Copies of this chain bind each other. A is one copy, B any other.
């Protein structure tokens, strides 16, 4: 209580000693996240050990447990990082004013396929991977993963609404249901592409999904 009177406890001003850097300014932390994403998108959470990530990131264990409370905490950080990385991807595709709404979606799937091809179709979607492992994961993961998927779906539903406004998509289809179905199927396609090490499943799915637009029913 002999402090410099900071009653609201919101921000202690007179800090002493070395100031802590912004979380994302730490090179070690960034290296860990990057290595973590690479490994987890390929092999999942349970199959990847902390030491394996340390070695890949060339960061000692002390740093890891300085920046993250536990492996689980690290996993949640990876989800957050993946989420914001993906937000950029979606921006790039969905905000492209030079394309029609449905063409933007197709552009997204093409970018995603190119991304998978870049790694020989060995890396999948972090969200899909962790979702499948959910039975072995700490409970906080569930809401985190659902939240990310919900974000993606919301943006996609908006895109479908734009398509309807353009007259590009039948007004009889429910944009929200369509968006949910898209992400359900798309995650399935990624899983399958990873299994077969081939882009074929991605194409099969998008090919058939787009028939919903063309032949669209009325009610």
Contact = CB atoms under 8 A, between A and B. Distances in A.
Interface stretch (A6-14, A90-98, A156-164, A187-195): A187-195
Nearest to A193: B184
A194 B44 contact: no
A119 B128 CA distance: 21
Interface stretch (A20-28, A101-109, A203-211): A203-211
Interface stretch (A64-72, A75-83, A131-139): A131-139
Given A188-B188, A212-B212, A217-B211, A195 B134 contact: yes
Contacts of A205: 181, 184-185
A183 B214 CA distance: 22
A122 B145 contact: no
Copies of the polypeptide in the assembly: 2
Which among A129, A181, A194, A217 has the highest number of chain B CB atoms within 10 Å?
A181
B194 A191 contact: no
A58 interface: no
A123 B136 CA distance: 11
A56 B189 CA distance: 34
Interface string A22-53: 00000000000000000000111011100000
